[in-house]
Chain A
Amino acid sequence: MEPMVRFQDVHKSFGAVEVLKGITLDVPRGDVVVLVGRSGSGKSTALRCINGLETVNGGELHVCGEKLHDGKTDLRKLRQEVGIVFQSYNLFPHLTVEQNVTLAPRKVMKVGAKEAKELAAHVLAQVGLSEKAQSYPEQLSGGQQQRVAIARSLAMKPKLMLFDEVTSALDPELTGEVLRVIERLAKDGMTMVLVTHEMGFARGVADQIVFMHHGKVWERGGAEMLRAPQTAELQQFVATDL
């Protein structure tokens, strides 16, 4: 079976700065792949390429069987299949939690009002926020807002979920509640790519850990990789983290 995401020698530059220097990486269906590395290593850029937020300059990137960036890619279609959650939540502040969750299903997938409400109830239950449906984002804690953002993505019934440092703005307690939601998604078999600084969490949830360094896949392996790094760079990275 072809992988959900396949990077083949992908290059990406911002002006003169080359951020991705030839990434080759497969994300098999049902797997959880965690990208780790220092700031500036290119992990967030790699993640953002997967749903077309960044365009690649060289190499090939296939997502859900579609080749991206050949000028014909229908980004809207792709984004119905690939959900993304950001560090800064980006909930729509003028809409209630329920309206945040149902906006895209109603307008993009043309789901009816009643069905959309049921859908919202379902995904909000998944993230443990059923009772907040009628609240506004500003009435919620950071952790709750991030869980709503996850629910909002899930409402589009994506095949693949991307998480870009989703707990970096949260204190440890709130981080825990968000990570538990992600763990449950992993158990349910959702294919996911995560960028995170939570090494303990990465070890627990990842099928594959990818250490990125200077725009390259420097080292990769299962969860045990972090305990026995092969390269000096990963050794150093792990040492500074612990």
Chain B
Amino acid sequence: MGYEFDFSFLSEYAPDLWRGVWLTLWMTVVSIVPGFVIGTLCAIGRIYGSTPVRRVATVYVEAIRNTPLVIQVFWLFFGLAVLGARLDAFTAAIIALSINVGAYTAEIMRAGFESIPRGQREAASCLALSGPQRVLYVELPQAVERVYPALVSQFILMMLATSIMSQISAEELTGVAYQIQSFTFRGFEAYLVTAVIYLALVTTLRLTLHGVALAAFPRRRRLGTPL
């Protein structure tokens, strides 16, 4: 074969890789929170909202889930710029990611809410809780707990999807890897290292979300029920 593996570029490009890692992490974290909020509100809107609210939520969910993320972010970054609304790459990326993950989260949370037995709602109403109190204290915690594994996978998919943001010049991890290979011609090594870094990032996210679950679901923690 004659090819000699050479990872010596790592020391030279370490600072760039670090910057890429941080940008990837930061994009992920900054998008998960609004994505979860948007998704949850949409799910509640689709179940309890008036007809117009339900329609708007449905159109949003379907429009986003049936178009590619890369087109959504191109439209925000290049499309809006044509109209004079220039967003920087990072802003465009986190808006696109939040809106995108929000649509998927909406469907996951809807499944969660709908899986709660009717008796729970009845009992809450019979205790004179208001509609919003019932959703907040009785339904939401149970819904999140029931669909938590699905939410975690969705957030992990979103972390991996940040890799397309180099397409709009956001120099996250994949963007940095592309640069490294184009300067060094060490594509095999550069992308291998990148894959290992993604693996580490995803593992970190998974562990973090597990920690969040332990804090958020005290019953699971106490009874030792696996998540």
Q: Interface residues, chain A, CB within 8 Å of chain B?
A: 51, 53, 75-77, 79-80, 83-84, 86, 88, 90-94, 96, 103-104, 107-108, 136, 138-139, 149, 152-153, 156
Across the interface, B122 reaches (CB within 8 A) one of A83, A86, A108, A136, namely A86
Q: How many residues of B contact A (CB 8 A)?
A: 22
Does A94 lie within 8 Å of B126, measured CB to CB?
no
Identity of the chain B residue whose Cβ is nearest the Cβ of A149 in the assembled complex: B123
Give per-residue flags for B120-136: 1 if the beta carbon is below 8 A from chain A beta carbons, else 0. 10111111111001000
Cβ-based interface call for B217 (8 A): yes
Cβ-based interface call for B70 (8 A): no
Does A138 lie within 8 Å of B223, measured CB to CB?
yes
Across the A-B interface, the 8 shortest Cβ-Cβ residue pairs: A90-B123, A104-B127, A90-B119, A79-B128, A80-B128, A108-B128, A76-B128, A84-B126
Query: B65: shortest Cβ distance to chain A, in Å?
Result: 29
Cβ-based interface call for B23 (8 A): no
Does A88 lie within 8 Å of B127, measured CB to CB?
no
12 contacts between A and B (CB under 8 A): A51-B126, A79-B125, A79-B126, A86-B119, A90-B117, A90-B122, A93-B219, A103-B127, A103-B129, A103-B137, A152-B127, A156-B127
B residues within 8 A CB of A104? 127-129
Cβ-based interface call for B142 (8 A): yes
Q: What's the Cα separation between A51 and B122 when bound, in Å?
A: 11
Does A107 lie within 8 Å of B122, measured CB to CB?
no
Across the interface, B142 reaches (CB within 8 A) one of A83, A94, A103, namely A94
Q: What's the Cα separation between A53 and B121 when bound, in Å?
A: 11
A residues within 8 A CB of B219? 93-94, 96, 136
Q: What's the Cα separation between A91 and B222 when bound, in Å?
A: 18
A residues within 8 A CB of B117? 90
Does A136 lie within 8 Å of B119, measured CB to CB?
no
Q: What's the Cα separation between A139 and B224 when bound, in Å?
A: 12
Query: B112: shortest Cβ distance to chain A, in Å?
Result: 12
- The winner among A53, A75, A91, A92 for most chain B CB atoms within 10 A is A92
Does A136 lie within 8 Å of B128, measured CB to CB?
no
Across the interface, B120 reaches (CB within 8 A) one of A75, A90, A156, namely A90
Q: What's the Cα separation between A156 and B129 when bound, in Å?
A: 11
Does A92 lie within 8 Å of B125, measured CB to CB?
no
* Additional A-B contact list (8), CB under 8 Å, known A86-B119, A88-B119, A108-B128: A83-B126, A86-B123, A90-B119, A90-B120, A94-B142, A136-B222, A153-B127, A156-B128
B residues within 8 A CB of A76? 128, 130
Q: What's the Cα separation between A139 and B158 when bound, in Å?
A: 37
A residues within 8 A CB of B130? 76, 108
Across the interface, A92 reaches (CB within 8 A) one of B126, B138, B223, namely B138
Query: B131: shortest Cβ distance to chain A, in Å?
Result: 10
Does B138 lie within 8 Å of A107, measured CB to CB?
no
Does B123 lie within 8 Å of A92, measured CB to CB?
yes
Across the interface, B141 reaches (CB within 8 A) one of A91, A94, A153, namely A94
- The winner among A53, A93, A153 for most chain B CB atoms within 10 A is A93
Q: What's the Cα separation between A104 and B129 when bound, in Å?
A: 6
Query: B225: shortest Cβ distance to chain A, in Å?
Result: 9
Query: B42: shortest Cβ distance to chain A, in Å?
Result: 22
Residues B73-104 near A (CB distance < 8 A): none
Identity of the chain A residue whose Cβ is nearest the Cβ of B223 in the assembled complex: A136
Q: What's the Cα separation between A118 and B155 when bound, in Å?
A: 42
Identity of the chain B residue whose Cβ is nearest the Cβ of A51 in the assembled complex: B126
Does B217 lie within 8 Å of A94, measured CB to CB?
yes
Give per-residue flags for B52-71: 1 if the beta carbon is below 8 A from chain A beta carbons, else 0. 00000000000000000000
Query: A54: shortest Cβ distance to chain B, in Å?
Result: 11
B residues within 8 A CB of A83? 126
Query: A106: shortest Cβ distance to chain B, in Å?
Result: 9
Q: What's the Cα separation between A92 and B120 when bound, in Å?
A: 7
Does B127 lie within 8 Å of A79, measured CB to CB?
yes
B residues within 8 A CB of A79? 125-128
Q: What's the Cα separation between A169 and B217 when bound, in Å?
A: 28
- The winner among B120, B126, B223 for most chain A CB atoms within 10 A is B126
A residues within 8 A CB of B122? 53, 86, 90
B residues within 8 A CB of A139? 223
Identity of the chain A residue whose Cβ is nearest the Cβ of B124 in the assembled complex: A92
